[in-house]
Chains A and B, each alone.
Chain A
Amino acid sequence: MLNRRTDLALDRDSLGRFLPWLIAFMVYLAVLALAGALMLRATAERWDKGIGATLTIQIAPTDNPARDAGNVEAVLGVLRTMPEIVRARAVDEAQLMALLEPWLGPAGAGDLPVPRLIDVELKQGAPLDAASLKARLSAIVPGVGVDDHRVWLERLVRLIRTAEMLAVTVLVLIALATIGTVVFTTRTGLAIHHEAIEVLHLIGAQDSYVARQFATRALTLGLRGGLFGLALALPTLAGIGYVVRRLESGMLPELALSPAHWAVLVGLPLVVAAIAMLTARFTVLRTLARML
């Protein structure tokens, strides 16, 4: 396949300077889009699994702390009888204060009436909805609120999935643009070398003999451009990673690429070069098929 000898002066037309640059840009964009897609997917999966099945129950405070404690116990008592619930645990006061401290400051927290919270972990896929749970608990303790994490988590995951889809769409568009570029350059090459190709054809060259020469060149140029694009993209990714780590706060999920992801990114130029090679081959074969 990689026979370097060629009967066509393919390396002497200007397309050889044009194609690697285009491929380099394509690979650059593709690496960034793919890295984004991979990170978003990993994040979405982590969230989907991790805190997917939890909800929080709030019990409105009364004037009487003893009554508050009684309410918590009553609610816990009901929750423990429910088969959908794996675990229900009251958040103790110290923990609650710690959660509120960033918002209210150390001084303010003690004086305010603070609702009591119960962490509830549901069985995976439990058909328990927040509204019916709330209705059931309100019958026992008035002023109970049920905060279903699944609702906003689902929205967040959906958002991430949408972003991921967008990245995949960008990848597909880049692949199509690469194919289009290679088709165009190959057609131009066929026109430039029409005379020589016709001679080869007339002395009995199989179509694949001519196609191989174009395909080999597309592969070479694709690899050259692809590796250059990758060489540009990796520092960019490292730079983005550095900036994100410096921003690191509880708000941003950890965006990290696993070794497998890096392998996929590094393999991308090979994929693009292979696309270029196959595209060139099919373009030449299709064009030659029109000759007798």
Chain B
Amino acid sequence: MIIDTVDHVVRFESVGLRYGLGPEVLQDVAFTLREGSFHFLVGESGAGKSSLLKLMYLALKPSRGLISLFGRDIATTPRPALPALRRQIGVVFQEFRLLNHLSSFDNVALPLRVAGVKESEIHKHVVELLTWVGLKDHIKARPPTLSGGQQQRIAIARAVIARPRLLLADEPTGNVDDRLALRLMHLFEELNKLGTTIVIATHNQGLVQRLKHPCLRLDSGHLHVDEPAAAPRRAAGRDGASSSSFEGWGSRSAF
């Protein structure tokens, strides 16, 4: 696995995307995400947010243009090398995409298992993270028996369990109340402080305004980068529940 030590995690140049022979849903998209940055991705519904995220988590190939992840041009990266890139990307899917036949524990453990991490390691970290997202009592529950908010937290736990270098989240706070939404955002900021580059697609204007991170704004297929008026508010003075149980995480360098 060769990871270039470039400071940009994602780079798009003149990227266009069309489905089949349809019109381009993304046109001339160009932006760079530096290592450790935090962006919101906003735009009207149907503006192409999910498509843009799919390009970033390697579910789609662009119809044209250049996409580079962690310094590697995706178009010239051989297919067998892609899983290694994907393992550095955590994704919170809009519709969660949890595996309904697996317990919460196994769902969250999946990225570690796929990466071949030892079961003893897996157990420790998964339990720790599920505890942190408040689902300790539902470790054995299967997703269909859980509420939308609980499922969402499992999806988030699964996305972050392997300490990804890039975290992409599609409406990760859509199914939870504002208090929990904020708490989840703090989880993302915590990860961000540990070096993870973060992109969160959201409709929640309240969150966007409150957290003051730069925005990638999609407008009918075109992308604009909006810097916030003030400097990004570094997640300070958040509600107390988050940080204490989260400390063990920073030392997790094994993955």
Contacts and interface: CB of A to CB of B under 8 A. Distances in A.
Interface stretch (A31-39, A56-64, A198-206, A223-231): A198-206
Contacts of B111: 203-204
Given A199-B97, A292-B60, A204 B83 contact: yes
A198 B59 CA distance: 9
Of the candidates A9, A12, A204, the one having the most CB atoms from chain B within 10 angstroms of its own CB is A204
B110 interface: yes
Contacts of A200: 110, 114
B83 A7 contact: no
A202 B115 contact: no
Given A7-B110, A200-B110, A292 B82 contact: yes
Contacts of A201: 86
A12 B99 CA distance: 13
A289 B83 CA distance: 12
B87 A203 contact: yes
A191 B97 CA distance: 16
B188 interface: no
Contact of A12 (B89, B101, B113, B115): B101
Interface in A199-225: 199-206, 209
Interface string B41-63: 00000000000000001111100
B79 interface: yes
Interface in B67-94: 79-80, 82-87, 89, 91
Given A200-B114, A203-B111, A204-B114, A292 B86 contact: no
A9 B80 CA distance: 25
Contact of B83 (A8, A9, A199, A205): A205
Interface residues of B, number: 26
A196 interface: yes
Contacts of B84: 204
Interface residues of A, number: 18
Contacts of B97: 195, 198-199
Given A9-B101, A199-B99, A292-B82, A205 B61 contact: no
B99 A196 contact: yes
A204 B99 contact: no
A237 B82 CA distance: 53
Nearest to A288: B79
Contacts of B110: 7, 199-200, 203
B106 interface: yes
B102 interface: yes
Nearest to B119: A5
Contact of A203 (B80, B102, B114): B114
Interface string A46-89: 00000000000000000000000000000000000000000000
Interface string A250-292: 0000000000000000000000000000000000000001001
A203 B101 contact: no
Interface in A1-37: 7-9, 12
Nearest to A203: B111
A205 B60 contact: no
A292 B59 CA distance: 7
A195 B96 CA distance: 12
19 contacts: A7-B99, A7-B110, A8-B99, A199-B97, A199-B99, A199-B110, A200-B114, A202-B58, A203-B111, A203-B158, A204-B87, A204-B89, A204-B111, A205-B114, A206-B80, A206-B83, A209-B114, A292-B60, A292-B82
7 nearest A-B pairs in the assembled complex, by CB-CB distance: A204-B87, A204-B86, A9-B101, A205-B114, A204-B83, A203-B111, A206-B83
